[in-house]
Structure 1
Amino acid sequence: MLAAKRTPEIIPLCHPIPITGVDVSFKVEEDRVEVEVRVRAVAQTGVEMEALTAATAALLAIWDMVKGLEKDEAGQYPYTEILGVRVESKVKGGGHGARA
């Protein structure tokens, strides 16, 4: 949630947007963790960047937590990767929303 609200501090030329809601959910499986972020705002511009930033920050936090378990003898992460970060849907209208 913090990453979504701080997106203008991280992404150049990204305007601050008054966010009205952020929902983060995780699906944990044996060999993966899926993160879904939904961001809502009442603004003239969309919230795709906020949703993408929040999803990426969540994935980086997970990486940081599991890196000790994932590192091989050479100090590398041969099987750990972040894949498929994308905007899955966008809602236009009175209130904007995006899901990443």
Structure 2
Amino acid sequence: MSAANAMHTGLSHVDESGKANMVDVTLKQETMRQAIAQGAVSVSSEVLVQIQKNQLIKGDVLSVARIAGIQAAKKCADLIPLCHPLLLTKVQIDFELDVIESQVSITCLCKLKGNTGIEMEALTGVSVAALTIFDMCKALDPSMTIHSIRVLEKKGGKTGDWQRTKT
């Protein structure tokens, strides 16, 4: 693949010959950056009640999932091969229990001052928090579903601010 073809496809993680390549961000401007990602775990109503009342035998599901999500965001570069290791200045994991939909919604906010985006860190935080909820509840509800993992917004960088439009 030629450099022109790589530019045409918009794939910054591909070099001139079409090989995977870690993007050089050395000369990119350092700016305040923020990303928010969200996802959900659908659970049985019985499991949702046990999570809400903190009655699961494995312990406090949401506290453990929060710590797991924070740790995962900090370790994103160890998990996703072409991600840059980042000095995150804030990682926040929040949960909302939705009784009507019988699901746990997970939101991850990541912030830093740096020269590359942090969407992958926010997505990784949500994903691992969801996997942790699944792990801690699977004995009671093996039919749980992890779904709707997506970036809601990002701020900073040369492309500026972006927010998912509500559909």
The TM-score range, normalised by the shorter chain, is: 0.7 to 0.9
SS at 1:3 equivalent = helix
Are 1:45 and 2:109 matched, yes or no?
no
- Per the alignment, residue 43 of structure 2 pairs with none
Structure having greater relative contact order (Cα 8 Å, sep ≥ 6): 2
CA shift in 2, pair 1:18/1:42, >3 Å: same
- Per the alignment, residue 89 of structure 1 pairs with 153
Q: What does the per-residue CA deviation read over 1:15-40, in whole Å, with 9 as the maximum and x for residues that have no partner?
A: 10110001110001231000000000
Q: CA deviation at 1:66?
A: 0.9
Q: Which runs of 4+ in 1 moved over 3 A?
A: none
TM-score (norm 1): 0.83
- Partners of 1:98 and 1:12 lie apart in 2 by 25
- Partners of 1:56 and 1:83 lie apart in 2 by 9
TM-score (norm 2): 0.50
Report % sequence identity.
37
Are 1:23 and 2:92 matched, yes or no?
yes
Report how many aligned residue pairs link the two structures.
90
Q: CA deviation at 1:89?
A: 0.2
SS at 2:135 equivalent = helix
Structure 2, unpaired ranges of 5+: 1-69
Structure 1, unpaired ranges of 5+: 72-76
Are 1:64 and 2:128 matched, yes or no?
no
- Per the alignment, residue 74 of structure 1 pairs with none
